[in-house]
Amino acid sequence: MEISSPRPGLRERKRQKTRDTISKVALELFTERGYEQTTIAEIADAAEVSPRTIFAYFPSKEDIVFCDLPDTEERLAQALRERPDGATALDTLREFIAASLLNPDLNHLLRKRILASNESLKRAERARFAPFEQLMTEAIAEDLRAGPDDIRPQIVAAALVAAFSSMQDHDPSAPPDSYSPEHALAVIDDVMGFLRGGLEALKHD
């Protein structure tokens, strides 16, 4: 019998609503006015909260831009933990990305537009990918039955992150919404095919 998770209490729901309102308003302002040009005071005014309240939820403007990454990391970790027998780490990641691409939320779309014209945020995003790279390293190590001193999982995970970073930076002049989800997924499948080939070669080393 499946046991449902307890419903969050009223205080927790109110906190989540406030957090969601702040992030939604901030991302919209960053898109309309520019990330650098938007102040915390302006976000607070639009969200109808105090600047102090914003800092209680987000230490900086940058943390607002990447507010969904911790949740995304946890969902990916769960997907990797619960992947069925026979499903590789790359298979699981491909399905995880496909679900996000084909059913994007508003924050994801706004973040793409914000990052498209801000190099410092692009660098910050790459730095924040470190936990994702570690997750993939551990999952690939499991696929390879690799020991703690085996460098192969790190090589594949690093190549994976580098490939996706290159995809995002490939044509900085192109509009962030210029590619359909289907086209983006086709490119990802090409990348995954390349990495699977490399992973198979590593299995025989």
What does the pLDDT profile of the chain (205 residues) look like in tens digits? Answer: 444 556 678 888 899 999 999 999 999 999 999 999 999 999 999 999 999 999 999 999 999 999 999 999 999 999 999 999 889 999 999 899 888 877 778 888 899 899 988 999 999 998 998 999 999 999 999 998 888 889 989 988 998 888 777 666 554 445 555 556 777 778 788 878 877 877 777 665 6
Q: What is the pLDDT of residue 120?
A: 94
Q: What is the pLDDT of residue 171?
A: 47
- Quote the pTM value: 0.79
Question: Distance (Å, rounded) from C-alpha 81 to C-alpha 75?
Answer: 10
170: nearest Cα among 180, 181, 179:
179
Sequence ranges of the domains in the chain: 10-65, 69-203
203: nearest Cα among 130, 124, 142:
142
205: nearest Cα among 134, 163, 155:
155
Say if residues 10 and 18 touch (Cβ distance below 8 Å).
no
Residue 145 has, within 13 A of its CA and on its CB side, a CA count of 2
Residue 164 has, within 13 A of its CA and on its CB side, a CA count of 19
33: nearest Cα among 20, 41, 24, 42:
42
Please state which architecture CATH assigns to domain 10-65. Answer: Orthogonal Bundle (1.10)
Query: Which homologous superfamily is 69-203 in?
Result: Tetracycline Repressor, domain 2 (1.10.357.10)
Say if residues 78 and 87 touch (Cβ distance below 8 Å).
no
Question: Distance (Å, rounded) from C-alpha 58 to C-alpha 63?
Answer: 6
Q: What is the pLDDT of residue 20?
A: 94
91: nearest Cα among 4, 170, 160:
160
Say if residues 95 and 82 touch (Cβ distance below 8 Å).
no
If you ran DSSP here, which 8-state letter would residue 25 be given? H
Q: What is the pLDDT of residue 77?
A: 95
**Cα separation values, 167 from 50, 119, 160, 189, 192, Å:** 39, 15, 11, 12, 12
Q: Please write the tens of the pLDDT for every residue from 129-144.
A: 899 999 999 999 999 8
Question: Distance (Å, rounded) from C-alpha 65 to C-alpha 68?
Answer: 8
If you ran DSSP here, which 8-state letter would residue 174 be given? S
If you ran DSSP here, which 8-state letter would residue 82 be given? T
Q: Name the burial class of residue 93, with classes exposed (0-12), middle (13-18) and buried (19+) by CB atoms within 10 angstroms of its CB.
A: buried
